[in-house]
Amino acid sequence: MPLKKKTTGDTQVRSAVLAHYLEVCERLGLNPQSLLGKVGLSRATLKTADQQIPLRAAVDLLELSAQAAQCESFGLLMAEARQFSDLGPVSLLLTHQRTVRDAIHTTMQYRHLLNEGLAMHVEDTGKLTLVREEVISAGSRSSRQANELAVAVLCNMFRALIDPLWHPQSVNFVHAAPANLEVHKRVFRCKLQFDMDFHGMVCATSDLEQAIPVADPVMARYAQSFIEAIPGNSGSSSVLLEVRKSIYLLLPMGRASVEQIARTLGMNVRTLQRRLGEDGETFSGVINAVRMELAKRYIANPKYPLGRIAELLGYSNHSAFTRWFIAQFKQTPQAVRAHHTSLLLL
């Protein structure tokens, strides 16, 4: 039996997240109007970069388009067509940050102007730094194309800021590898790792400390004042969304405690619980919902052993994971895995 889908409200994003979608459709011989209609969008929606659209519609559109074109690298083809200026006014602010690390933190600060559903986390581990990304959209079929697009855009940002020939040590994806890696190799120019614990890239920590050659603090202040003056630029996404994004990134790392999430969001635990209560939620309820969504993702991939899935969902004891899984889905993990395996064999 398929897993019961749990739905939540969706995030609104700028239609700029679909920049160059029509070009890639034309290149692959697709009828974009038909595909756009299936997710409730139209060509007119894409004409204005600041048009608000449901993130779920954008994510589903990429998946439907990849399937229709039989092209597993659809999102990467969009990323290849992107210019740094496609980031809008934020691109000017990023250009004039002191270092690449400053630019990444600025991207995180103003992601509501780029993609409200994008979660990012930077983790230094000695000489290497992990930049984790996750496009989080409620109820979407899959987010494979959206996540590959996001990682490619981040990689392109590094190249635009410091060196067109730059490449990370590796890029990681949670999903399985495509049958053809030609586009992935061309876009990333580095080691490709699939069936991993996170979406994102691994680079030298020293890369983040590189100075941006054209950085100008006066221009940075000008760009920031311009962005702050944009109508509707409050940057005030809901605490519920921010908690969900933090859990998505930190749960597989074993760090999704209420204390850690509160620190990540710059508030104390009591304030976090109160703000969630205003949305009719509790921290335990939110983390359980995210755990269910991640369980669906991992269980559908036969390359993830059940023991590994238990660890990624925060269970060191396999029997505790099994009890939780049965309570949520009314089936054992083994039964659900067998169901997904049988579908793959059809």
Q: Would you say how long the chain is, in residues?
A: 346
Angle at 237 between CA 5 and CA 85, to 5 degrees: 105
Global pTM value: 0.85
Q: What is the DSSP letter of 11?
A: -
Predicted pLDDT of residue 137? 79
Predicted pLDDT of residue 237? 64
CB 187 within 8 A of CB 76: yes
Is the pLDDT at 7 greater than 80? The verdict is no
Q: Which is higher by pLDDT, 238 or 168?
A: 168
Query: Exposed (0-12), middle (13-18) or buried (19+): which is 257, by Cβ within 10 Å?
Result: middle
What pLDDT, in 10s, does the model give residues 185-230?
999 999 999 999 899 999 999 999 999 999 999 999 999 898 888 7
Least confident stretch, 233-237, 273-277, 310-314: 233-237
What pLDDT, in 10s, does the model give residues 295-322?
998 998 888 899 999 999 999 899 999 9
Predicted pLDDT of residue 231? 65
Angle at 71 between CA 65 and CA 77, to 5 degrees: 85
The domain locations on the chain are 12-227, 239-345
Per-residue pLDDT, averaged over 280-300, amounts to 93
Which contiguous run of DSSP H or E holds residue 123? strand 118-125
Predicted pLDDT of residue 226? 87
Q: In what order do the strands lie in the sheet with 199-204?
A: 118-125, 128-135, 199-204, 170-172, 191-193
How many CB atoms within 10 Å of residue 186?
Answer: 11
Predicted pLDDT of residue 107? 93
Per-residue pLDDT, averaged over 54-65, amounts to 94
Is the pLDDT at 144 greater than 80? The verdict is yes
Q: Which pLDDT band holds residue 272 (cuts at 50, 70, 90)?
A: very high
Share of the chain above pLDDT 90, in %: 73
Mean pLDDT of the chain: 90
CA distance 214 to 134: 30
What pLDDT, in 10s, does the model give residues 110-121?
887 888 889 999
Q: Answer yes or no: CATH 3.90.1520 is held by domain 12-227.
A: yes
Is the pLDDT at 126 greater than 50? The verdict is yes
Is the pLDDT at 257 greater than 80? The verdict is yes
CA distance 212 to 100: 7
Is the pLDDT at 139 greater than 60? The verdict is no
CA distance 112 to 117: 8
CA distance 110 to 116: 9
What pLDDT, in 10s, does the model give residues 78-103?
999 999 988 888 999 999 999 999 99
Is the pLDDT at 172 greater than 90? The verdict is yes
Q: What is the CATH number of domain 239-345?
A: 1.10.10.60
Virtual torsion, Cα 275, 280, 282, 283, nearest 10 deg: -60
Is 239-345 in the same CATH topology as 12-227? Answer: no
Q: Kindly calculate the radius of gyration of the chain based on its CA atoms and give it in whole angstroms.
A: 20
